[in-house]
Structure 1
Amino acid sequence: MAASDELGSLTRAFTGLGVDEKALISTLGKWQPEQRRSFRKGSRDFFREDERQFERWDDRHILQLRHEFLRLKDAIVLCTMHPWERDGRLLKEALYKGPQYHVLVEIACTRSSDDLLGARRAYHSLFNHSLEEDVAFHVHTPERKLLVGVLSSYRYEGPKVSEEMAKLEAKALSEALTLKGGGPGPSPLENDEVIRILSTRSKLHLKAVYKHYKDITGNYLDQDCDGHLLLKETVQCLCTPETYFTKILEASLRYNVDELTKEAVSRVIVTRADEDMKQIREEFNREFGVDLRKKIEDVANGNYRDFLLTLIARSD
């Protein structure tokens, strides 16, 4: 392999999601000191020359590489955990990293009632606090009422839906999301009826509400939540989860995004591989015109890429 090809291979091994361990071993293992020096001199994205004229790793890239080497390990650990422990730990991280309110909503609204209850029990066992207690204590914004509501929910999962009640509740939501008197009204996050509907109704019932909302207003419910991101994400997770997960994956598979955003790739693919990955793949293709597997092949590296593709292949 020509020197320029080897430099390109090594650079690709360091970029994207994960690290291409095979490329690192095959290239670095045979390089002489002068070749390593040339790489440092020619890779200003990774190295910088200080006042003593020696090339040193950029500290930001050292931290990034540490994250990338751990990415496969973290994905495997998530995959092998009991789902209740996995979700309990994800909820804890979401509450203390950021915090990431959308991850709290994601777990609360895309798990079955029994699995959400199990995650709450696991959280209690792992951290000696109830999840609802921690959310109520740490969240001081208007989102608190919605978060506590959906996280403490135990929804009916049977087939019965009252179409008449769904129409009435669609109308109530449309009124809560409509500006009155020519000026901004109270936030729907502070509307008890909005919180009650979204945190207690079954998912089948809410899909009927979603349909009737479109009939009443001409808009989709999540479209009319654009000014209230957490509300929009809650509606999508409950009614059209493939839309939500597609958006999260697309954002996390971009180049040069922050570490918290990148973490969503492992979380979503591991947790949805045995659930609705087929629908997510179809929606991703519809929305962005590219197969999710092809996107991961382009962005991810090495064993991490192969592990993600193996999980996705379960939906074939």
Structure 2
Amino acid sequence: MSTLTVPPVPPSPKDDAIQLYRAFKGFGCDTSAVINILAHRDATMRGYIQYEYGTMYSGDLLKRLSSELSGKLENAVLLWMHDPAGRDAIVIRQSLVVERNLEAATEVICSRTPSQLQHLKQVYHAKFGVLIEHDIERNTSGDHKKILLAYISTPRYEGFEVNREMAEKDAKILYKAGEKKLGTDEKTFIQVLSGRSAAQLNATSSCYRDMYGHSLKKAIKNETSGNFGHALLTIVQCAQNPGKYFAKVLYKAMKGLGTNDSTLIRVIVTRTEIDMHYIKAEYSKKYKKTLNDAVHSETSGHYRAFLLALLGPNQ
């Protein structure tokens, strides 16, 4: 459930484009006006605003935003301006090719639904002129590469029906491939986790706990590590409860000295229109503090105002 608040009767995209142009005009940028408009428009509206701005002022709104804003606010607003698949494509490309920090790419790929991944693949190719599989192939290695390629290319059922017998069988297979043997049969983990629907994996996790007295998540933590382990854990946790998974990612980004702003921006911007309402509920439940309060204490200025606008009322 989204936390985005849109005016009951939003201004026309043309009016928004005019207001943005006025905010850019003159000495300095009226950043508050930019935030008040863009943080309260959905993906479709933002697309229309960009179109109207380009038509009326013969300029690229994204380029203008980039020249008027700076730092973390610029990063957050520019990512927000794209549609969900476009954002995911940008995050993955940056993570795989530019930064070679594979955590973000792993999180995005392994937390998306099969239909989201299908759309992402098309957008990625259109944006960067290369197949996402080629970038994964070139910039990852070993079992991590295998799970990402399998997960992004295997068709999976997206409904809620589960096969209980298959869940029990998969739980046994995973136990034999991991905890029961010396070493780990990674191929089996890849096969099962990339080939089952979220609901089916959830049933397998439940069977695993009933049969072996602890969670599949714990078994994966004990049996795997690094980027490969991160991929498997993301798949299993997002199958069970994506809200809880992302609440933990946000908590870790703000924990201790300093804040991991790229993670904070990525999760808030990409989940606002999907399930941020549930992420906020899980955050409050687990950490006894609202996500809004945590973000407020870790950020400042217009950057803080933008993120809090996306998060909606403090609850």
Task: Using structure 2 for the length normalisation, give the TM-score.
Answer: 0.70
Q: CA deviation at 1:256?
A: 4.1
1-structure distance, mates of 2:310, 2:133: 32
Q: How does 1:158-237 map to 2 (within 5 A)?
A: 158-180=159-181, 184-186=182-184, 188=185, 190-191=186-187, 193-227=188-222, 228=224, 229-230=229-230, 231-237=232-238
> 3-state DSSP class of the match of 1:81?
coil
Q: CA deviation at 1:233?
A: 2.7
Q: CA deviation at 1:168?
A: 0.6
8 Å Cα contact 2:111-2:235 kept in structure 1: no
State the partner residue of 2:76: 75
Structure 2 alignment gaps of length 5 or more: 1-30, 33-68
Structure 1 alignment gaps of length 5 or more: 1-20, 23-67
2-structure distance, mates of 1:127, 1:315: 38
1-structure distance, mates of 2:278, 2:86: 25
CA distance 1:293–1:315, change in 2 (3 Å): closer
State the partner residue of 1:299: 298
2-structure distance, mates of 1:215, 1:98: 41
8 Å Cα contact 1:94-1:101 kept in structure 2: yes
2-structure distance, mates of 1:151, 1:257: 33
Q: How does 1:89-100 map to 2 (within 5 A)?
A: 89-100=90-101
1-structure distance, mates of 2:156, 2:100: 25
State the partner residue of 1:59: none
8 Å Cα contact 1:166-1:212 kept in structure 2: yes
1-structure distance, mates of 2:310, 2:294: 15
CA distance 1:224–1:243, change in 2 (3 Å): farther
Q: CA deviation at 1:77?
A: 1.5
8 Å Cα contact 1:281-1:291 kept in structure 2: yes
RMSD of aligned alpha carbons? 2.3
State the partner residue of 2:114: 113
Quick check: 207-216 or 146-155, which moved more?
146-155
Task: Using structure 1 for the length normalisation, give the TM-score.
Answer: 0.70
Larger Cα Rg: Structure 1 or Structure 2? 1
1-structure distance, mates of 2:119, 2:167: 29
Q: CA deviation at 1:302?
A: 1.2
**Which letter maps to 1:116?**
L
8 Å Cα contact 2:109-2:152 kept in structure 1: yes
State the partner residue of 2:245: 244
Q: CA deviation at 1:111?
A: 2.3
8 Å Cα contact 1:91-1:103 kept in structure 2: yes
State the partner residue of 1:264: 263
**Which letter maps to 2:304?**
R
8 Å Cα contact 2:136-2:145 kept in structure 1: yes
8 Å Cα contact 2:95-2:104 kept in structure 1: yes
8 Å Cα contact 2:208-2:216 kept in structure 1: yes
2-structure distance, mates of 1:299, 1:235: 29
2-structure distance, mates of 1:209, 1:155: 15
Q: CA deviation at 1:250?
A: 1.3
2-structure distance, mates of 1:178, 1:274: 39
**Which letter maps to 1:117?**
Q
2-structure distance, mates of 1:157, 1:290: 33
Q: CA deviation at 1:314?
A: 7.0
Identity of aligned residues (%): 30
8 Å Cα contact 1:105-1:234 kept in structure 2: no
State the partner residue of 1:64: none
1-structure distance, mates of 2:150, 2:239: 13
2-structure distance, mates of 1:123, 1:266: 20
8 Å Cα contact 1:117-1:154 kept in structure 2: no
Q: How does 1:108-147 map to 2 (within 5 A)?
A: 108-147=109-148
CA distance 1:78–1:246, change in 2 (3 Å): same
CA distance 1:315–1:169, change in 2 (3 Å): farther
**Which letter maps to 2:193?**
L
**Which letter maps to 2:297?**
D
8 Å Cα contact 1:105-1:150 kept in structure 2: no
8 Å Cα contact 1:278-1:315 kept in structure 2: no
Q: CA deviation at 1:69?
A: 4.1
State the partner residue of 2:20: none
2-structure distance, mates of 1:107, 1:253: 19
2-structure distance, mates of 1:100, 1:236: 21
2-structure distance, mates of 1:257, 1:110: 26
1-structure distance, mates of 2:243, 2:177: 25
**Which letter maps to 1:122?**
V
